[in-house]
Structure 1
Amino acid sequence: MRYEHEEKGEQMKILLIDDHAILRAGLKRILIEDIGAQVGEAADAEEAMRQLQRETWDVVLLDISLPGRSGLDILPEIRSSYPLVRVIVLSSFDDQQFAVRALRDGAAAFLTKERAPRELLDAIKTVMSGRRFITADLADRLASLIACDSPKVPHETLSSREFEVFRLIAAAKTPTEISALLNISTKTVSTYRARILEKMNMTSSAELMQYAIRHALVN
């Protein structure tokens, strides 16, 4: 598989953002051996943003479930600050809600970690050509979602930030912890929590936790 970078004698630069060292090692080996890329690594959002500030990258492989700020949280920031970088979102979750949010916030591709080793090279080739990479099964699910006239499930009514706070609440994080992770005040966390409960027609954090577990929205 040849890329425009190779034809120009340039080395593609790919930043791999994931907190699982074993997964990073596997994907890094593929990227180096198959396309000769220069691969940088980051285990959390803070290190990822430092890497992005220090160097210019062609592609970012971004895990959703990072410690601290999640991939969904920093995706809009990456797209705003580094508009030329192609972002491929990786997820342990196969829920279409994550794909919809990632693509809406500027991701060029969405891959589940289970399928990433098989589809990653095709995804990189596609996004480097300026197009989005969407697998056939995801395209079918997104088409069904768009065409469906049925009401949205409760968590689909949340904004991206509300969805992030919801997932942190569901992961049993305290308001103080959420405040520190998202760099917002505890009062703002409380405001988001009240809004989330109202939108989802629930009355407690326990209900949110049970809902998130049922819908596989937390690890």
Structure 2
Amino acid sequence: MTTRVLLVDDQALMRMGFAMVLDAQDDLEVVGEAADGATALAQVVALRPDVVLMDVRMPGMNGIEATARITAEHPEVRVLVLTTFDLDEYAFGALRAGASGFLLKDAEPGALAEAIRTVASGEAVVAPRVTRRMLELFAPHLPVRAEAGDAGTDPRLADLTPREVEVLRAVARGLSNAEIATELVLSEATVKTHVGRVLAKLGVRDRVQAVIVAYETGLADR
């Protein structure tokens, strides 16, 4: 199955480089390009890509606003953010807006292709420990963040079982499924099931969004 990709970057040479890398992959197809967020929105409607490779720093409508519009209006489309810095506040804003992950612009070609495949499959592309580093840096600026003692009263957590709360807290600490399984003495398959249920109950698309909810509700360990 071929994954359709839309390239969004205000630098033509950058788009050309990404296109060359992706066109060399049998299962990836670049279906269009855009130099700004507004054009990206129009291209999503016209081309129906599976994944949007999104630069965040662009003139006019930036990548954060474009990501928010795309994920809200076209939830089936996944957004993978491109950034120059691994702790870019713009990239973090795009994750909060609904992006499924971020990737450094100087990533190896193989890593870029694999990241697109991962996002297209419904998974997130942010290493757990990187997610934690980002949130530790920006958590103080998150709105509606509850105090830790009030976490249990947040309505977003009301449907979670005690075990699911444990799993969400572990995810927010940056633990992988294997690490959670070891810590909670569960099988990795069971942890994966719990994570899936947590995502469904929170109404989020991936574990990156779940971690953000954990911080916003005060559930995450400080």
1:80-123 Cα deviation digits (max 9, x unpaired): 11100010011123325334322221111111212263521121
- Tell whether 2:5 aligns with 1:14: yes
Q: Once the two structures are superposed, what CA deviation does each residue of 1:31-74 show, in whole Å capped at 9, x if it has no partner?
A: 11023533111111222122112121100001001121100111
Aligned to 1:58: 50
* CA distance in structure 1 between the aligned counterparts of 2:135 and 2:35, rounded to whole angstroms: 34
Compared CA separation, residues 118 and 130, structure 1 to 2 (3 A)? same
Aligned to 2:127, which of 127, 132, 135? Answer: 135
Gaps of 5+ in 2: 145-222
Superposition pairs of residues 101-180 of structure 1, within 5 angstroms: 101-115=93-107, 117-135=109-127, 138-142=130-134, 144-145=136-137, 152=140, 156=141
| Aligned residues of 1:90 and 1:116 also touching (Cα < 8 A) | no
- Alignment partner for residue 30 of structure 1, among 21, 37, 40? 21
Distance 1:106 1:59 in 2: 13
The Cα offsets for residues 129-187 of structure 1, whole Å up to 9 and x where unpaired, read as: 211011366235246558x8xxx3xxx3689xxxxxxxxxxxxxxxxxxxxxxxxxxxx
Normalized against structure 2, the TM-score is what?
0.57
* AA in 2 matched with 1:55: L
- Higher mean alpha-carbon deviation, 84-93 vs 107-116, is at 107-116
Identity of aligned residues (%): 36
Distance in 2, Cα, partners of 1:62 & 1:116: 17
Is the contact made by 1:88 and 1:107 (CA closer than 8 Å) also made in structure 2? Answer: yes
| Runs of 5+ unmatched residues, structure 1 | 6-10, 160-219
> Which one of 58, 64, 74 corresponds to residue 66 of structure 2?
74
3-state SS of 2:45 partner = helix
Structure 1 residue ranges (4+ consecutive) displaced by more than 6 angstroms after TM superposition = none
Counterpart-to-counterpart distance in 1, 2:27 and 2:123: 22
Using the alignment, how far apart are the partners of 1:28 and 1:72 within structure 2? 22
CA RMSD after TM alignment: 2.5
CA contact under 8 A between 2:54 and 2:82: conserved in structure 1? yes
**SS in structure 2 of the partner of residue 14 of structure 1:** strand
Number of aligned residue pairs:
143
1:94 alignment partner, SS class: coil
SS in 2 for 1:76: helix
Q: Distance in 1 between matches of 2:38 and 2:135?
A: 35
The match for 1:83 is 75
TM-score by length of 1: 0.58
Contact conserved, 1:16 with 1:61, CA < 8 A, in 2? yes
